[in-house]
Amino acid sequence: MIYALSLNPCLDKTAAVPCFSLDAPNRIQVERLDLGGKGVNVARVLLEMAGEGLLMGFDYAGEPVKTAMEKEHIPVWLLPVSGDLRVNMKLRDLETGHTIEINERGAEVSEAQLQQLMDELLRRCRPGDWVSLSGSLPPGAKADTYANLCRSLREKGCFVAVDCDGPALMAALEMGPSLLKPNAQEFFALTGVQASDLPAALAACRKLHAKGVQMICLSRGEEGAVLSTAEGAWECPAADVPALGVQGAGDSMLAGLLIAFSRGYDAPKALRYATAVAGASVMRPGTLLGQKADAERLLQQLPIPRSCF
């Protein structure tokens, strides 16, 4: 079983303007509103690509998460909390292709509510299950929330993937997660190394392996992705597709890795599959995620990842 945890989901409000200006009104040309957040995106991709997965997390006034997930036929276990679902604004400049993001913090949750959710996840998980801990923590959650979950899940024999940043990531590192999935910016914040400098990036990955991190998948945008383990490292180029929407590509890659490893793929094959899944997301506009047919087509076009250890 693959579980996607979503502790701080959001409504993604995506808008586009011809050319963003700080000194004049900006007229929106394209606008959409979608339920989002890293954990939600991972659950969507799991269902689309593999027909499996369970989303676990919090829901808010009016049950917006439950309502949206029911429409998409995504299985959920949700704990109701008071407060409104946060809104994240994404403003895309059509002329430059840049996106400005403005994210709300979200509703506060209590320690008891967090514990109830964690207890339910741990009750359900069995040895050999796969768990994604991704996204920001809600107000009220301590920085070691993911770290504590990672420790407990690893003790149960589960594969644990972590995709977060800041203090939550630093705490989780101490618990030896099975997989980290940083992008270039997150990797630089964590290590001080540019992802474009591949030898230095691989050296930084080896230091993280020495701390107990089993695998690191570093997404490098147009340069593709690298998957590093204690035994070796592999590089796969990005899929050659028009970049219509990069939001959710990293979540798609994480879901692709979880699917691949749960099927018993080795590291190079898992990286190739996850790169195809991410490419299928990039070729769709805004916050829309990839479709299975596109991922399967891209998979046939991608080369076998080369060793770069």
Please tell me whether residue 88 adopts helix, strand or coil conformation.
strand
CB of 276 closer than 8 Å to CB of 256: yes
**The pair of three-digit structure tokens given for residue 60, joined into one six-digit string:** 């808010």
Tell me the C-alpha to C-alpha distance, in Å, between residue 61 and each of 10, 47, 69, 83, 84: 13, 26, 15, 6, 5
- Which residues, including other chains, have CB under 8 Å from residue 3's CB and lie 6 or more apart? 53, 54, 56, 121, 124, 125, 129, 130, 131, 132
The whole-angstrom separation of Cα 196 and Cα 124 is: 40
Amino acid at residue number 268: P
C-beta separation of 148 from 118 below 8 A: yes
Q: And the tokens for 93?
A: 């400049």
Tokens 């027909």 locate to 51
Dihedral of the alpha carbons of 288, 54, 221, 302, in degrees to the nearest 10: -90
User: Could you count the other beta carbons within 10 Å of the beta carbon of residue 57?
Assistant: 25
Lookup: tokens for 172: 């989780």
In the block, which residue shows the tokens 């409104």? Answer: 84
Is 144 one of the catalytic residues?
Answer: no
Task: Indicate which residue of 59, 144, 163, 251 is catalytic.
Answer: 251
**Cα dihedral 177, 225, 244, 8 in deg (nearest 10):** 10
Burial group, residue 270, by CB count within 10 angstroms (0-12, 13-18, 19+): buried
Indicate the DSSP class of residue 183.
B
Task: Report the catalytic residues.
Answer: 251
